[in-house]
Amino acid sequence: MGGSVVEDNHDLDHDLDLDDTPLASASSKSHQQFHSFDFEDTSVLDLRRSSIFNITRMSRSIYFVLIKAKINLLLPFGPFAILLHYVTGHHGWVFFFTLLGITPSAERLGYATEQLAFYTGPTVGGLLNATFGNATEMIISIYALKSNMIRVVQQSLLGSILSNMLLVLGCAFFTGGLAHYKKVQVFDKAAAVVNSGLLLMAVMGILFPAVLYFTHSEVHQGKSVLSLSRFSSCIMLLAYASYLFFQLRSQQNVYSPVGEGGENGENSDVEEDLELTQWEAIIWLAILTAWVSILSGYLVDAIQGASESLNMSVAFISVILLPIVGNAAEHASAIMFAVKDKLDITIGVAIGSSTQISMFVIPFCVVVGWCMGKEMDLNFQLFETATLFITVLVVAFMMQEGTSNYFKGLMLILCYLIVAASFFVHVDPKSGDD
């Protein structure tokens, strides 16, 4: 009898299946609705969090690039210069305020390049730093070339080489020597020797057309210098391409910055300095390059008028004033790395930039002028060529020991002051080409 009771209870439970009851059905539906609502609510929250994160990330990016640095106080002068151009047309003021506006843009261009260099490695990063550091000079040169201002192109590029080798490197050695006055700062002589050799090759390419012109020994009067310049430019571009291959493939360990503090110290420095993501750095590079291009057009248009209104020669403006603005990025980077006792990177920024201008930018402008039908050549005139030759010799002797101190930096700065004073009293004998 007890067994029949158990069987009856089992049958009763089977007949009254809880899943089939209305209460269970309602409970199941409410449970499914709860899960569905929870999933939708989570996706909405994730979307909101993602959008908030993107806005926050964008705000941080804008803060780091456009607000954080004190030099950004000069950024509004760029739009103000454009406004002055259309309202007043006073070339002196337009030139002055464009210089002020383009200076922070060039420096921020270097900052974005440094941020991108953290993701590409030291070797490619050094090349990127030199390339985008010279973007301002290249843009100004192309605008001037289109306006047939060949002497402005030659003198601004020459001034950029002189500024990098004397002023930028001198300030870096001076500040680094003061920051580490108790020891002698050292750098790798191998990279310095190769760069010095390339600079001497560039001097050779620039010297021979000038000598050919001033000795009146051309086979075809008025054409041989141009033909020699174009041929030499192609050879110099080939040499620079070979140098890049040598630097990136054959001798990577030679040109990688030496981290005396060890890997841990190097990684901590990277984490401390890293402020932008890779794509943010690329986007800011594009934006800043476009803005520098716009300002460069107004700057070139105002050079001749500024020379007359400020009572300064075009040679002084092109050789001294323009490169100081264009080299703002290299100046800040070289000093920063010298203070951190990373002279290998300092040499790569200052001397590497000079090498790139002399072996790539100048020949590139000759080839671009060839394509445009402009007679851009390597005849930089006697005064400028002699200045470049002596400067390369002085810097090569300063770096041959592979050591640095504040006295060497002071000597380079004083040499630059002599060069600046020389161009202040120098008048281009062929002012018609300007």
CATH number reported for the structural domain that contains residue 110 in this entry: 1.20.1420.30
For helices 91-120 and 135-146, angle between their N-to-C axes, nearest 10 degrees: 140
Rounded Cα distance, 366 and 350, in Å: 23
- Segments forming the whole domain that contains residue 283: 53-251+276-425
Q: Is residue 13 part of a domain?
A: no
- In this predicted structure, what is the pLDDT of residue 133? 67
Which residues share a beta bridge with 171? none
**Degrees, nearest 5: CA angle 66-71-75:** 60
Rounded Cα distance, 193 and 397, in Å: 10
Q: Is residue 18 part of a domain?
A: no
Rounded Cα distance, 89 and 45, in Å: 54
Q: Is residue 15 part of a domain?
A: no
The segments of the chain whose pLDDT lies below 70 read 1-54, 121-123, 125-127, 129-131, 133, 250-273, 329, 430-434
Which residues share a beta bridge with 185? 404
Which region holds residue 425: left if phi is over 0, alpha if psi is between -120 and 50, else beta?
A: alpha
CB 247 within 8 A of CB 255: yes
Q: Is residue 131 part of a domain?
A: yes
**Degrees, nearest 5: CA angle 109-114-119:** 130
Rounded Cα distance, 206 and 385, in Å: 7
Rounded Cα distance, 169 and 199, in Å: 15
Q: Is residue 270 part of a domain?
A: no
Which pTM value belongs to this model? 0.77
Q: What is the pLDDT of residues 247-271, one digit of tens each?
A: 777 655 444 444 434 444 455 455 5
- In this predicted structure, what is the pLDDT of residue 129? 66
- Please report, as a single letter, which amino acid is at residue 365: C
Q: Is residue 215 part of a domain?
A: yes
Q: Is residue 95 part of a domain?
A: yes
Which region holds residue 220: left if phi is over 0, alpha if psi is between -120 and 50, else beta?
A: beta
Instruction: Go through the chain and tell me how many residues it has.
Output: 434
Backbone dihedral angles phi then psi of residue 404, each to the nearest 5 degrees:
-145, 150
- In this predicted structure, what is the pLDDT of residue 418? 96
Q: Is residue 115 part of a domain?
A: yes
For the chain, the domain total comes to 1
- In this predicted structure, what is the pLDDT of residue 433? 43
Convert 306-318 to b/e letters by CB count within 10 Å (16 or more is b).
bbebbebbbbbbb
Backbone dihedral angles phi then psi of residue 186, each to the nearest 5 degrees:
-125, 155
